[in-house]
Amino acid sequence: MANHSRSHDREADEGASHRRAGRGWRSFFRVASIAAGVLVLAAGATLVVSAVTSKPGGTKTKRLLVSGHRLEALGAGATTTVPASTSTTSSSTTTTTTTTLPPLPYVASLSPVSGATGVAPVTPITITLSAAPPSGSPMPQLSPSVAGNWSVSGTVLTFTPAQPWAPWTEVHVSIPANLAQPAQWNFTVQGVSLLRVQQLLAELHYLPLRFGPSATQSALGSEATVPSKVSIAPRPGVFTWRYPNIPPALASSWSQGAANVATQGAIMMFENQQGLAVDGLAGPQVWTALTKAVASRSLDPNPYDYLMVSKSLPESLTVWRNGQDIYHSLANTGVNGRITPDGTWPVFEHVQSSTMTGTDVNGYHYVDPNVPWVAYFYEGDAVHGYPRASYGFPQSNGCVELPIANAQVVWPMDPIGTLVNVS
């Protein structure tokens, strides 16, 4: 018993020495096992542990040297089995143990692929690894996050969203370094269809059409009063003209579910009234504002005006409003070489006065300050007031000129987004 006690004391002394040094082989992996479950190197790395024993002056000293690559901890409870080789040299007091750890899995494939656009808002995310992930591994991180669940089946990780991402959202996926070889990618959720935007614009009276479940019913009364609950998907229903006597050019500027100038003008008018940048495109900001307007029943406060410029002599401009012509004026369009092109365009700039510069067909460079009551609709062409001795035939450098008093009357009728047809 006495010998056993002395031997136990020596072992305790040596254990204390190892604890003080903080580098004991057994202590090292015992602590690692408790704290992290297992320690691994970067993929394919080798851990070399050298134990050197010497007895200078009759005193026994042990120290452990750890060399190799940076160690990384897996989640608690993870385990691994690795091959090990041990070499001992009888003439030396150095024993070297080399342990080669298996590489982490790498990402073999992704779905949706990196950079994908137009992804459906409830599409599952699938990550296929080269090998099954270590037990207890953390799952990839999503930004922005959305409610849903990760599942693991062999080498395949799948995230199933419980609710959709918002339209146009850019989703970032990050894979933790201790799950697989680091990877990060992103994809973009599809936006709202143009057809759905048209439906809401019609319900809010920004289009000269109504939308509803039937030709005589509007859908607005049945929409949710909470913006986030406004349906993203197009609703069943029909478009019908809100007014009689639709000008043929206005009718031809509209098409359901497709990009057209009537929709572009309606979006621009809505953007302008909402204080948004005016570009005529139904992006995230427009959609957010539309859902709020629908939820609050905020209809377009203005009548639907449509300007028709006729090149038939005498040239004229007519304002059509809500089904009837309400104003008529003689007008001047562009001369040969600077003609006003035929077509329909929305007003994109609306100012009380503007300085106009350019070069006429004779090569004369002009600067006209303070041109009044201006509505630009095509490049540098605008409806505006201009003093002439007479009106009704081509005289301008491409613009539609009106007598100044008449232009003042028309100006409140052609705000941003108003369609101007020239024929």
pLDDT band at 39 (very low <50, low <70, confident <90, very high): very low
Residue appearing with tokens 């990060």: 184
CA-to-CA distance for 223 and 227, rounded, in angstroms?
9
162-171: average pLDDT: 92
pLDDT of res. 332 = 98
Average pLDDT over residues 160-173: 93
- How many CA atoms within 13 Å lie on the side-chain side of 412? 6
pLDDT of 108-122, one tens digit each? 999 999 999 999 999
Q: Comparing 40-44, 224-228, 395-399, which segment has the lowest mean pLDDT? A: 40-44
For 69, the token pair is 């690559």
Nearest to 30 by CA among 20, 42, 38: 38
* 56, pLDDT greater than 70: no
- Kindly tell me if the per-residue pLDDT of 375 is higher than 80: yes
Pick from 260, 338, 307: which is nearest to 423 by CA?
Answer: 307
Interval 60-67 mean pLDDT? 39
Least confident of 19-28, 119-128, 172-181: 19-28
- pLDDT of 179 reads 87
- Residues 286/276, Cβ–Cβ less than 8 Å: yes
pTM: 0.71
Q: What DSSP state is assigned to residue 266?
A: H
Q: What is the pLDDT of residue 218?
A: 66
Give the residue among 222, 220, 200 at the shortest CA–CA distance from 288. Answer: 200
pLDDT at position 129 over 80: yes
Q: What is the pLDDT of residues 346-370, one digit of tens each?
A: 999 999 999 999 999 999 999 999 9
Q: What is the DSSP letter of 130?
A: S
d(CA 241, CA 226): 28
For residue 2, is pLDDT > 50?
Answer: no
pLDDT number for residue 37? 35
Break the chain into its structural domains and give their ranges. 2-100, 107-188, 194-270, 305-422
What's the half-sphere exposure (Cβ side, CA atoms, 13 Å) at 234? 15
Of 191, 195, 224, which is closest to residue 209 (Cα–Cα)? 195
Residue 49 near residue 64 (C-beta atoms within 8 A): yes
Q: How confident is the model at residue 23 (pLDDT cuts 50, 70, 90)?
A: very low
As a whole number of Å, the end-to-end CA separation of the chain is 117
DSSP assignment of 346-412 equals: E--EEEEEEEEEEE-TTS-EEEEEEEEEEEEEETTEEEEE---S--SS--BSSSEEE-HHHHHHHGG
Alpha carbons 152 and 7: distance in angstroms, whole number: 51
State which CATH number among 3.40.50.9100, 2.60.40.3710, 3.40.50.300, 1.10.540.10 fits the domain covering 107-188: 2.60.40.3710
pLDDT tens digits for range 281-337:
999 999 999 999 999 999 999 999 999 999 999 999 999 999 999 999 999 999 999
Which CATH superfamily does the domain covering 305-422 fall into?
A: L,D-transpeptidase catalytic domain-like (2.40.440.10)
Say if CB 120 and CB 129 are below 8 A apart.
Answer: no
Cβ-count burial of 10 within 10 angstroms (0-12 exposed, 13-18 middle, 19+ buried)?
A: exposed
Is it the case that residue 100 has pLDDT exceeding 80? Answer: no
CA distances from 265 to 62, 287, 291 (A): 84, 16, 19
Q: Is the CB of residue 49 less than 8 Å from the CB of residue 25?
A: yes
* Average pLDDT in the chain: 82
Torsional class of 115: left (φ above 0), alpha (ψ -120 to 50), beta (otherwise): left
